[in-house]
């Protein structure tokens, strides 16, 4: 089965930041969450995929075809939305839709109207009148309306209330359930990935430190809350911190027996706990007041 998306060895240099050999793939039927702290390279990577910025080396293939050589054909099959909308603020959603549909031969106005109704999105409102959450809904509605086989979305749930976020996640699951479409979306709201993602790609300082199955990623770590405050065990943590007289942190699953022998029962972490402590470890963060 051909990957819907495949990046191999993408390198992009800036004066103060670089993407370094970024490689990962997205399979049909997969929801791939793209995570990393602000400035790690998520948006830059997405722009490289869509050929919006030039990269020095590497390749991007969509549906088995080189993205640079088959850009127009591939983009007909991709729904893409960045996190911010700042163009044509005085135009209504309807007017913007009427322009956008000209670029996609399969654009479905009825589907667009259905999604807008689901999102309670008034298509006669001007872009400048929309909240940040409503702008995200508009971007997702456009991406869903031309029968895209791959959705690439930058922070699609940012700024949304919990109910609206849950609606979008339900739509994501519905999109991929038949196994013929896929979604790649970057996010800092890791609880969204707990609910819907099957895969995780984790970028740190321009480099991929993990890509693969979400469950396998989570099972590699354990969360510890040590209320005995046993400082002798601090070296066993990937990273930890002391809060209100106890120690909490992240450990590798193979180190669990050390804690169990000391009467401490490690638990399965969520994605936020993993990300927080991996970043804390890699940046050697400490705070002195």
What mean pLDDT is reported for the chain?
91
The answer to whether residue 136 scores a pLDDT higher than 80 is no
pLDDT score for 287? 37
Tell me how far apart the alpha carbons of residues 286 and 48 are, in angstroms, rounded to a whole number.
34
Straight-line distance from the first to the last Cα atom of the chain, in angstroms, rounded to the nearest whole number:
55
- Chain length of the chain: 289
Contacts (Cβ under 8 Å, ≥6 apart) of 286: none
Q: Of 65-74, 232-241, 262-271, 280-289, which gets the smallest average pLDDT? A: 280-289
- The pLDDT-based confidence of 86 (bands split at 50, 70, 90) is low
Query: What is the full DSSP assignment across 150-202?
Result: EEEEESTTTT--HHHHHHHHHHHHHHHTTSS-EEEEE-S-HHHHHHH-SEEEE
Q: Of 86-100, 127-141, 177-191, 264-278, which gets the smallest average pLDDT? A: 127-141
**Helix (H), strand (E) at residue 204:** strand 199-204
pLDDT score for 289? 33
pLDDT score for 283? 62
**If you average pLDDT over residues 137-162, what whole number do you get?**
86
Tell me how far apart the alpha carbons of residues 46 and 128 are, in angstroms, rounded to a whole number.
25
> pLDDT digits over 108-125, tens only?
999 999 989 988 899 999
150, 75 contact by CB (below 8 A): no
Tell me how far apart the alpha carbons of residues 136 and 159 are, in angstroms, rounded to a whole number.
8
pTM: 0.88
Partners of 252 in the β-ladder: 221
Phi, psi of 10 (to 5 degrees): -75, 125
201, 35 contact by CB (below 8 A): yes
pLDDT score for 74? 95
Query: What is the full DSSP assignment across 4-55?
Result: SEEEEEEEEE-SS-EEEEEEEEE-TT-EEEEE--TTSSHHHHHHHHTTSS--
Percent of the chain past pLDDT 70, that is, above it, reads 96
> pLDDT digits over 213-231, tens only?
999 999 999 999 999 999 9
21, 9 contact by CB (below 8 A): yes
DSSP three-state, residue 112: helix
pLDDT score for 288? 36
The answer to whether residue 13 scores a pLDDT higher than 50 is yes
**Long-range contacts of range 90-95, CB-CB < 8 Å, 24 or more positions apart?**
90/126, 90/127, 90/128, 91/126, 91/127, 92/123, 92/124, 92/125, 92/126, 92/127, 93/121, 93/122, 93/123, 93/124, 93/125, 93/127, 93/130, 93/138, 94/123, 94/124
The answer to whether residue 249 scores a pLDDT higher than 60 is yes
Domains and CATH numbers, the chain: 5-213 (3.40.50.300), 220-282 (no CATH)
């Amino acid at each position: 089965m051909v990957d819907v998306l495949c990046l191999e060895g993408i390198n992009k240099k800036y004066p103060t930041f670089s993407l370094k050999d970024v490689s990962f793939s997205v399979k049909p039927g997969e929801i791939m969450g793209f995570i990393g702290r602000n400035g790690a390279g998520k948006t830059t990577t997405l722009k490289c995929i869509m050929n919006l910025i030039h990269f020095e080396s590497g390749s991007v293939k969509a549906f088995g075809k080189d993205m640079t050589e088959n850009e127009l054909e591939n983009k007909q099959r991709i729904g893409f939305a960045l996190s911010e909308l700042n163009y044509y603020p005085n135009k209504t959603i309807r007017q913007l839709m009427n322009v956008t549909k000209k670029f996609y031969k399969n654009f479905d106005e009825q589907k667009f109207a259905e999604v807008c109704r689901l999102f309670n999105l008034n298509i006669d409102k001007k872009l400048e009148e929309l909240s940040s959450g409503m702008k995200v809904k508009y971007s997702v509605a456009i991406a869903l309306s031309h029968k895209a086989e791959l959705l690439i979305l930058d922070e699609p749930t940012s700024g949304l209330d919990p109910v609206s976020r849950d609606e979008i996640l339900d739509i994501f699951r519905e999109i991929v359930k038949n196994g013929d479409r896929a979604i790649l979306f970057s996010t800092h709201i890791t609880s969204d990935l707990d609910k819907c993602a099957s895969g995780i790609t984790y970028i740190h300082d321009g480099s991929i430190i993990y890509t693969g199955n979400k469950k396998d990623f989570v099972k590699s770590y354990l969360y510890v809350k040590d209320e005995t405050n046993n400082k002798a065990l601090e070296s066993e943590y990937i990273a930890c911190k002391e809060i209100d007289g106890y120690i909490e942190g992240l450990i590798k699953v193979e180190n669990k027996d050390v804690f169990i022998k000391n009467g401490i029962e490690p638990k399965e972490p969520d994605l936020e706990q993993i990300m927080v402590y991996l970043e804390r470890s890699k940046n050697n963060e400490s705070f002195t007041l």
